């Protein structure tokens, strides 16, 4: 699909551009980002250039991954040209039959911009777009168990915790436990094409 741009009260979420490579490279030198996410380590300038260029473009073109640069709305600067505060994106999850109606939300935040609610604000915009424009019927979130900051963002975005999955995440030659959560259109008072019938003790 063609890339889109989303706006919130304080942010512009737009596709990455080649010019973002220096900011992305600088952000990913923070050890917390490779510690808790899947970005390569050590993170090189070549990694950043691939991420903001071919990798992002391929995801949009193939309709599989939608990656956004999260930027500030700043006085005197054109929309989308503000300071980079992070990255947020969706990955469509494979299903037995198309179209895929499930997706996973992921994000990271530049160290200097954490604690201000930007990532939760971006996450809320992304999941609403996914439900209303992409037809997603279940949004999933995973993080390595212990990643309290990521869980706080997910909860602020409306996700409901579902438990801990053993050995879910391969990371640095080990498998790590993951916290799991989900968000449904009905949680945001939105409808979905396939009705949700929750289990309430009924006989199967």
pLDDT score for 117: 97
| Alpha-carbon span 57 to 51, nearest angstrom | 9
Residues in the chain: 204
Q: Which residues on neighbouring strands pair with residue 106, listed in sequence order? A: 89
pLDDT score for 204: 56
pLDDT score for 111: 97
pLDDT score for 3: 95
pLDDT score for 188: 96
| Rg (the chain; Cα; Å) | 17
> pLDDT by residue (tens digit) across 3-58?
999 999 999 999 999 999 999 999 999 999 999 999 999 999 999 999 999 999 99
pLDDT score for 99: 61
Phi, psi dihedrals of residue 24, rounded to the nearest 5° = -65, -45
pLDDT score for 32: 96
pLDDT score for 75: 80
Which ranges of the chain have pLDDT less than 50? 96
Q: Order of strands across the sheet with 65-72?
A: 6-7, 11-14, 65-72, 84-92, 102-109, 138-144, 174-183, 160-171
pLDDT score for 100: 66
| Domains of the chain, each with CATH number or no CATH | 6-137 (3.40.630.30)
By C-alpha distance, which of 28, 37, 29, 67 is closest to 172? 37
């Amino acid at each position: 699909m063609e890339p889109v741009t989303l706006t919130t009260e304080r942010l512009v979420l737009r596709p990455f551009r080649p010019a973002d490579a220096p900011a992305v490279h600088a952000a990913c030198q923070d050890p917390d980002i490779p510690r808790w996410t899947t970005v390569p380590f050590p993170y090189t300038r070549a990694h950043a250039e691939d991420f903001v260029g071919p990798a992002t473009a391929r995801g949009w073109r193939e309709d599989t991954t939608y990656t956004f640069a999260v930027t500030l709305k700043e006085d005197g600067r054109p929309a989308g040209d503000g300071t980079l505060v992070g990255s947020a994106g969706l990955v469509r999850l494979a299903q037995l039959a198309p179209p895929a109606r499930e997706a996973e939300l992921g994000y990271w935040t530049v160290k200097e911009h954490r604690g201000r609610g930007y990532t939760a604000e971006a996450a809320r915009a992304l999941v609403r777009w996914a439900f209303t424009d992409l037809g997603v019927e279940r949004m999933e979130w995973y993080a390595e168990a212990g990643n309290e900051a990521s869980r706080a963002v997910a909860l602020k975005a409306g996700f409901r915790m579902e438990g801990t999955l053993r050995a879910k995440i391969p990371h640095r030659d080990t498998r790590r436990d993951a916290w799991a959560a989900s968000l449904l259109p009905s949680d945001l008072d939105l409808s979905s094409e396939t009705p949700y019938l929750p289990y309430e003790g009924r006989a199967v």
